[in-house]
Amino acid sequence: MKRTKTLLLASCGAIALGAAASADTVRIGITQNNVGIDSYQTTYEQAFIAAAEANPNVEVIVLDAGGDVARQISQMQDLIQQQVDAIIVWPTDGQALVPAVRNAYNAGIPVVVTNSNIAEAGLDFIAAFSGPNNIQQGIYSAEMMCDALDGEGQIVQITGMPGYTTAIERQQGFDDRLAELCPGVTQLDIQPGDWNRERAQRTMETFLTRFDDIDGVYAGDDNMGVGALNAAIAAGRAEGMVFIGATNFAVGYDAMERGEYWGSVYQSPVDDARAALQTALDVLAGEDVPLLNYFDTPKITQDNMHEFDRPVF
């Protein structure tokens, strides 16, 4: 049994090698989470295709799961059947996808997970993860908050959708770093804004009623941060209040330019897409790739914002 498996693996490898050698190109299949549901994912796809077209040695098969985990699993199976050289996957569900990733592993096809990671049980079967470090982003936001408030003040936090890894990790990074770096800054309350600007605006309005003295607001992304800013402006209390977000959106960038918004974390879907493709190419080239490949998501503030392009989303 074991021998057949090895044989199978070897022959798969040989076919892949043969194909690669004859045409001198690699075939990479990608199955994305839900293109079109937000600007980030739309831009990611465009950037991925552009990066692949710029490289004559790469041929890509671009698929989208439309947010449906069952469809993503069958897309993984299709890609395995087509014997692509590598698969890039943006998991719709990090847990449910583990068996599909294991199938690819057993078929000898390296899998690169992009943007949001697969569940821990699947880590043994992937070649690498490529994406943003959300805990680090939370840490950056905490550092900016501490800076902006000179270590003293009272803040509120508006988080993303409860239960989403990105929301949990950003909050965790922020809470831990703030407590450690800035014991003088207290968090009055933490409530979700569901990644929704209107919802965040409502949450902030209630905070403004409840607390007479709010010095700063941390929001899990700029979309919610701008919702909170809207609420504070409407209440006439935005003056002197520090707003810090993450995933710099165009609206956040503009508000920063007007001096209403203090800072954010710059996360480019273009960098995200390029990093995923590069990681897959490095894996195929046999390079020693670390399991967790984070691309850089730097702090962006009013001071350094002109080093960055205005986000397209």
Partner 1 sequence: MLLTRLKAGGPAIARQGILVAFLLFMVAFSLMSDRFLSADNFMSVFRQSAIIGVMALGVTIVVIGGNLDLSVGSMLSFATVLVVDLHDKIGPELAIPVMILATLCLGAINGALIGFLRLNSLIVTLGMLSAIQGLVLIYSGGQNVDIVDQQGTWFSIFGRGAIMGIATPIVMFLGLALLFHVIMSSMPFGRKVYAVGGNPTASVFSGISRSRVVFTTYLISALCVSMAAIILGSRVMGSQNNVGQGYELQVLAAVILGGTSLMGGSGSISRTVLGVLMLAFIQNGLILMGQPYYMQWLVTWAIIIIAVWLDVAAKRGRLLSPIA
For 229, the 3-state DSSP assignment is helix
Q: Considering beta carbons, is residue 120 or 198 the nearer one to partner 1?
A: 198
To which H or E segment does residue 263 belong? Answer: strand 263-265
By CB under 8 A, residue 234 contacts partner 1: yes
Range list of β-strands (E), 51-177:
58-64, 86-89, 111-114, 128-131, 153-159
Tell me how far, at minimum, the Cβ of 2 lies from partner 1, in Å: 46
By CB under 8 A, residue 210 contacts partner 1: yes
Stretch that binds partner 1, among 21-29, 132-140, 188-196, 282-290 (CB under 8 A): 188-196
CA dist 313 and 48 (Å) reads 16
By CB under 8 A, residue 115 contacts partner 1: no
CA 150 from chain centre, in angstroms, equals 29
By CB under 8 A, residue 197 contacts partner 1: yes
CA dist 201 and 198 (Å) reads 5
| Residue choice 29, 132, 192, 216 for contact with partner 1 (CB under 8 A) | 192
By CB under 8 A, residue 83 contacts partner 1: no
| Burial (CB count within 10 angstroms: exposed 0-12, middle 13-18, buried 19+), residue 272 | buried
Site string for partner 1, 22-41 (x = CB under 8 A): -------------xxxxx-x
Q: Considering beta carbons, is residue 194 or 215 the nearer one to partner 1?
A: 194
- The 3-state DSSP composition of the chain as helix, strand, coil percent (nearest 5) reads 50, 20, 35
Torsion 180-181-184-190 (CA) sign: negative
Q: Considering beta carbons, is residue 75 or 159 the nearer one to partner 1?
A: 159
By CB under 8 A, residue 227 contacts partner 1: yes
By CB under 8 A, residue 248 contacts partner 1: no
- Is the distance from CB of 225 to CB of 243 less than 8 angstroms? yes
By CB under 8 A, residue 198 contacts partner 1: yes
By CB under 8 A, residue 223 contacts partner 1: yes
CA dist 28 and 47 (Å) reads 15
By CB under 8 A, residue 50 contacts partner 1: no
Question: Rounded to whole angstroms, what are the CA distances from 30 to 57, 245, 289?
Answer: 16, 30, 19
By CB under 8 A, residue 125 contacts partner 1: no
By CB under 8 A, residue 42 contacts partner 1: yes
Residues that bind partner 1 (CB under 8 A): 35-39, 41-42, 162, 189, 191-192, 195-198, 201-203, 205-207, 209-210, 223, 226-227, 230, 234, 249-251, 312-313
